[in-house]
Amino acid sequence: MAQHSKTCVINNSEFDFISRLVKQHSGLVIPRDKTYLVESHLSPLAATHGFHTLSQFICSLKKHTDEKMAGEVIEAVTNHESMFFRDKKPFEQLRKMILPRIRNMRAKGSKIRIWSAACATGQEPYSLAICLLEEATSMAGYDYEIIATDISAQALAKAKRGIYTQFESQRGMPKELLHKYFIKLVDSRWQVNAMLRDVITFGKQNLLEEFVVPGTFDLVLCRNALIYFDDATKRVLLEKFRLRMNPGSMLMVGSGENLTDIPHKFAAMENAHGVYVL
């Protein structure tokens, strides 16, 4: 039976090993000032595998790390923080600028495809789906589809269930939309309704690996994810996204992410922060 891992401050060598392991398998970069997060997130995993200390666990990883164990480490250290309509402004831009632009490019009867490329626990794609459904009049005559992917199997499982605590469901979600698109469960949690589920397809995607998502897209969102990659990886990802985007389509990044110093083939969309046009 596994024993609980004791509090353990890892040394620089141990941190560097975990950092290299995570970057090798996911492309994600862990800054040294996040050592405390590595410790707090990996300690329960060490305990689960029967280790008394985190250092013992890392020593074992150094001797042998298979794909399954690497995946567990990445699951543990990956940030799945999210909320509905995060930052608000991008969703206003979606309604007022991005969707009208896409409609102008795409003939009625065609399918508009959107990719949420780091969807975490699902709040972003569900927010996108609500925006599309709320624009039912202007979207009349168009079919649309949202593909939502993430590297974390645990986060995707939660996203697919579409069940959120009272705090999660109200965080960023206007009350009227919560009651319109969610079902209140007996334990005060809220579950997304069928209207939202029907618009979204969830799947696992490690952005470092070959893209398994099918087809091309009119809008790709990779918000608050690029900050975890180094510049070389960002350049690779931007080119991979470009190859999966239709001419004139758009890429949306996070409010704190700047592509100015990274070579790419996108143009900043005028009067739209964080939106780039192909």
- Picking from 48, 77, 106, the residue at the C-terminal end of a domain is 77
- Looking at 25, 44, 77, the residue that finishes a domain is 77
Q: What is the DSSP string of the chain?
A: -PPPPPP----HHHHHHHHHHHHHHH-B---GGGHHHHHHHHHHHHHHTT-SSHHHHHHHHHH---HHHHHHHHHHHS-----TTTTSHHHHHIIIIIHHHHHHHS-TTSEEEEEETT-TTTHHHHHHHHHHHHTTTTTTT-EEEEEEEES-HHHHHHHHHTEE-HHHHHSS--HHHHHHHEEE-TTS-EEE-HHHHTTEEEEE--TTS---S-S-EEEEEETTTGGGB-HHHHHHHHHHHHTTEEEEEEEEE-TT---TTS--S-EEPTT-TTEEE-
Among the listed ranges 52-66, 200-214, 237-251, which one has the minimum average pLDDT value?
A: 52-66
Query: Residue 42 corresponds to which tokens in the numbers above?
Result: 């990996």
Question: Is 203 a member of any domain?
Answer: yes
Residues 72 and 94 both lie in one domain:
no
User: Within a 13 Å sphere around the CA of 239, how many CA atoms are in the beta-carbon half?
Assistant: 9
Identify whether the C-beta of residue 269 lies closer than 8 Å to the C-beta of residue 275.
Answer: yes
- Mean pLDDT for 240-266 is 91
Q: What is the mean pLDDT of residues 244-258?
A: 91
Q: What is the pLDDT of residue 207?
A: 92
The answer to whether position 6 is within a domain reads no
Q: What is the pLDDT of residues 107-135, one digit of tens each?
A: 888 899 999 999 999 999 999 999 999 99
pLDDT at 2: 40
| Domain contains 5 | no
Lowest mean pLDDT among 76-85, 90-99, 170-179, 208-217: 76-85
What is the span of the domain harbouring residue 60?
Answer: 12-77
Q: Which of 34-43, 83-92, 123-132 has the lowest mean pLDDT?
A: 34-43
**Average pLDDT value for residue range 157-166:** 95
For the domain that residue 153 is a member of, what is the CATH number? Answer: 3.40.50.150
**Domain shared by 119 and 50, yes or no:** no
Identify whether 40 is part of a domain: yes
Q: Check whether residue 177 and residue 230 sit in a common domain.
A: yes
Which class for 262: exposed (0-12), middle (13-18), buried (19 or more C-beta within 10 A)?
middle
Confidence at 6, pLDDT banded by 50, 70, 90: very low
Q: Dump the DSSP string for 241-278.
A: HHTTEEEEEEEEE-TT---TTS--S-EEPTT-TTEEE-
123 and 201 fall within a common domain: yes
Q: Which two tokens stand for residue 169?
A: 């469901």
Cα separation, 99 vs 128, in Å, equals: 11
Residue type, 156: L
Quick check: is 3 in a domain?
A: no
**pTM across the whole model:** 0.85
According to the model, what pLDDT value does residue 237 have? Answer: 94
What is the Cα Rg of the chain in Å? Answer: 20
Residues 171 and 246 in one domain: yes
Mean pLDDT for 71-75 is 81
